[in-house]
Each structure stands twice: as structure tokens, then as C-alpha cells.
Amino acid sequence: MAKRIQFSAQGGPDVLEWTDFEPADPAEHEVQVEHRAIGINYIDTYVRSGLYPVAAFPSGLGTEAAGVVSRVGRGVTLFKPGDRVVYCLASMGAYSEVHNVAEDRLMHLPEAISFEQGAASYLKGLTTQYLLRQTYKISAGETFLFHAAAGGVGLIACQWAKALGAHLIGTVGSAEKAAMAKKAGAWATINYREENIAQRVSELTDGKKVGVVYDSVGKDTWEASLDSLRRHGLMVSFGNASGPVTGIDLGILNKKGSLFVTRPSLFGYITNRQELETASAELFSLLASGAIKVDVPEQQKFALKEASKAHQMLESRATQGSCLLIP
């Protein structure tokens, strides 16, 4: 028997249950992983709350973890028991002591990267990779706006932008978070609780505004994001932390400068093994070199059975950077 978190109805953090389960044998081309650290991502709250549907109840939760291979199914050629591995695009159920993962969704974790670093950075790092390197390719010297710069993805984006020689303007909700973003490599910060975002972007860019905005906040920042873009700019809406953007009048894009909008996701950019390996190699290189550091504060490491408490903290915006569950 092993332990896991599951839920039998969608709702608040209190629907999460700590329970025993019998792990299934790994199927053909599946690998069983004993977890050492489990990543917590904002998308997990969308699944738990009902914004994203689940196939059946009771359901597991989570798609990201790092650990050691314990068993392999028939036909597995890339991994063997004892291998250090990390994943973030697996079937639901990473909030558990062990999980079976499709071989093509698993990557070897380099020795230079700890289990905690791997679980804290893999999904967020691959997200940053597709945003800054694929959705819109950020170049050296370019200035752009990134919302929630002190969040898990945001802090990695600050460091990645610095490594690229680009100027990231990050929105934050406090002076403490501004300091964190600046330390990570943000060129400038805007406190959205005290400052007008679009006005500050215009001031920081001498009235030129920016060519791209990355927005994971959603409805609360939608208008400010559009107002921060120069003519023909791109709005990248990749999350809904404040709620989804609904009821859009497409005419507003014309009025504000013939703008472009995209709603991407990692699943749309990593669709096969080659794409996963290419994006992972770029991320692992930056992590191993120290260009990107992911340090999880002790108060943001939770025992696996405390997943409900972790979700409460995440949704209250009381966290900074990544959070982990430790089996």
C-alpha cells in the first residue's frame, strides 16, 4: 500500500483527501516512480476547483514530480530502476508516494540538479521556455511586460530574461515581492496595488510601450495588458489566477492598435518526445550552470498529506516562487 491525495468532488482545498491506495503495476511503456519531491502548480487549483474537468471520481491530482525509478513495464528502453527522473506532463496523480508515468513523458534528471530543484522548476521552467523562446522569441535588449513576476513562473522568467540580456518589467503585489523579482533579474517592477500598470510601462519605455505582454493573471489585468502594448503588439494570456477573461469584444484589439492575442499552453508546444527533449535540454543547461536558481523557502515545503494547506496558501497569494509537497 501507498499513500496519495485524491478528491471525490470539485471545490475548495477541503475536498482534498489523504488516503491509502494500491499502486498498479506499470503497464507496457510505463515507468513507476518513487517520489522524492512533488511540484505544486496553480493549474492544480483549477482542476480541484472545477475550472478544468476530470475524467472520473475519485481523482488524483498533480502532474509534476521528481524521484527514482522503482519498476519498469514491458517495452521500456530509456529507463531502468535506480534512475533519477523528473516529469511534468504525466497523467493526473503526482500528489502520491508513487506514480506510473508514460516513458515518453519522463526525463533523466541531471546529477547537478536536486530532486527538489527538479520538481520545483520543471513545469514552470518548460512553461517559461515556450513563452520566451517559442510563443514570442525574446531577443537581447528587448523590453517586455511579465505579470506576477514573483510567482513560480515569474521568478524563472526574470532569470531567463537576464540570461538573454532582455529587460523584463514585472508586476508584483508588494515591496517584498518587488525586491525578489529585482534580485532574480527583473529590469523594473510595478506594484499593481499602488501604480497604474499601463502608465508605468509607458514611462519606463519613454512612451514606446512593449511588443509583448505575458499575462497569467487573467481578468484583473486584461485591459492593463492591452494598454501596455504598442501597435501590432502581442498579448500572451497563459493563465487565469484572478478568473478567466470572458465576453471579449474583438473590436477592442483594433481600437488599441491592431493587436494580436494568443492563449497558449505547454501541451500545445510539447507534443512529442523530441520537443520535450529540446525544451528540457535548454532548461537543464540554465539550471546546471546556475543561471537559473530555484530555492524553495522552508515554509513553502509541505508534507504530502498537507496538500490542502498548500493550496490555501497558494490561492491566498501568500507564496513567493515555487512550492513543494514532500512525501
Cell of 312: 490555501
Q: What is the pLDDT of residue 288?
A: 93
How does pLDDT run across 92-135, given as a tens digit for each residue?
Answer: 999 999 999 999 999 999 999 999 999 999 999 999 999 999 99
Indicate if the pLDDT at residue 183 is higher than 70. Answer: yes
**What is the average per-residue pLDDT within 5-21?**
96
**What is the average per-residue pLDDT within 196-221?**
93
The rounded distance, in Å, linking the Cα atoms of 239 and 233 is 19
Two domains, one topology: 2-121+270-326 and 140-264: no
Measured from the Cβ of residue 122, the count of other Cβ atoms closer than 10 Å reads 28
The rounded distance, in Å, linking the Cα atoms of 65 and 188 is 32
Indicate if the pLDDT at residue 151 is higher than 90. Answer: no
Instruction: Please state, for a pLDDT cut of 70, what percent of the chain lies above it.
Output: 98
Closest among 268, 238, 271, 288 to 105, alpha carbons compared? 271
How does pLDDT run across 39-69, given as a tens digit for each residue?
Answer: 998 889 989 999 889 999 999 999 999 999 9
Return the higher-pLDDT residue of 246 and 53: 53
Closest among 285, 284, 321 to 300, alpha carbons compared? 321
* Alpha-carbon distance values, 156 to 75, 169, 190 (Å): 36, 14, 18
- Please check whether residue 162 is in contact with residue 188, taking contact to mean a CB–CB distance below 8 angstroms: no
In DSSP terms, 19 is beta-bridged to 4
**What is the average per-residue pLDDT within 168-191?**
96
The rounded distance, in Å, linking the Cα atoms of 111 and 132 is 26
Q: What is the pLDDT of residue 241?
A: 66
What confidence category does residue 187 fall into, taking pLDDT thresholds of 50, 70 and 90?
very high
Q: Which of 181-190, 216-225, 265-274 has the lowest mean pLDDT?
A: 216-225
Q: What is the pLDDT of residue 239?
A: 78
Indicate if the pLDDT at residue 310 is higher than 70. Answer: yes
**What is the average per-residue pLDDT within 76-92?**
95
Residue ranges of domains in the chain:
2-121+270-326, 140-264
Indicate if the pLDDT at residue 223 is higher than 80. Answer: yes
Indicate if the pLDDT at residue 240 is higher than 80. Answer: no
How does pLDDT run across 259-294, given as a tens digit for each residue?
Answer: 999 999 999 999 999 999 999 999 999 999 999 999
Which architecture characterizes domain 2-121+270-326 according to CATH?
Answer: Alpha-Beta Complex (3.90)
Q: What is the pLDDT of residue 247?
A: 74
Indicate if the pLDDT at residue 248 is higher than 90. Answer: no
What confidence category does residue 219 fall into, taking pLDDT thresholds of 50, 70 and 90?
low
Q: What is the pLDDT of residue 316?
A: 85
Distance, C-alpha 244 to centroid of its chain: 17
- Tell me if the domain spanning 140-264 has CATH number 3.30.565.10: no
Q: What is the pLDDT of residue 220?
A: 79
Q: What is the pLDDT of residue 218?
A: 73
Q: Which of 15-19, 197-201, 296-300 has the lowest mean pLDDT?
A: 296-300
- Please check whether residue 3 is in contact with residue 326, taking contact to mean a CB–CB distance below 8 angstroms: no
